[in-house]
């Protein structure tokens, strides 16, 4: 009986997570629609230009920086 209760609890947690991820992905789409088109930003680590929508945003000392990948973000943070 206890095992069954745990399984139900896990199912509820998974359902809530799924619902939240659907909600946040819908919110993300709304944001990209409002910020029109192909705004390019520069990755300060590898000097590559990437579409703002695809970039990884990171606030560093009040300044917002954009990175092409998590790897570049980590490398940049290690350098500074
Ligand atoms: Zn990069």
User: Is the pTM here over 0.75, yes or no?
Assistant: no
Q: How far is the CA of 14 from the centre of ligand 1 (A)?
A: 34
42 within 8 A of 51, measured Cβ to Cβ: no
Say how many CA atoms lie within 13 Å of 58 toward its Cβ. 19
Closest by CA to 41, choosing from 72, 75, 66, 24, is 66
Q: How far is the CA of 75 from the centre of ligand 1 (A)?
A: 9
Question: What does each of the 80 residues of the chain score in pLDDT, given as a tens digit?
Answer: 789 999 999 999 999 999 999 888 877 555 544 445 679 999 999 999 999 999 999 997 899 999 999 999 999 999 87
Q: How far is the CA of 70 from the centre of ligand 1 (A)?
A: 8
């Amino acid at each position: 009986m206890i095992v069954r209760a745990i399984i139900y609890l896990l199912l509820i947690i998974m359902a809530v997570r799924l619902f939240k991820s659907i909600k946040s992905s819908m919110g993300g789409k709304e944001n990209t629609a409002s910020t029109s088109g192909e705004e390019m930003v520069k990755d300060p680590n590898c000097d590559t230009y990437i579409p703002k929508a695809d970039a990884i945003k990171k606030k560093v000392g009040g300044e917002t920086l954009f990175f092409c990948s998590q790897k570049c973000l980590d490398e940049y943070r290690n350098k500074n």
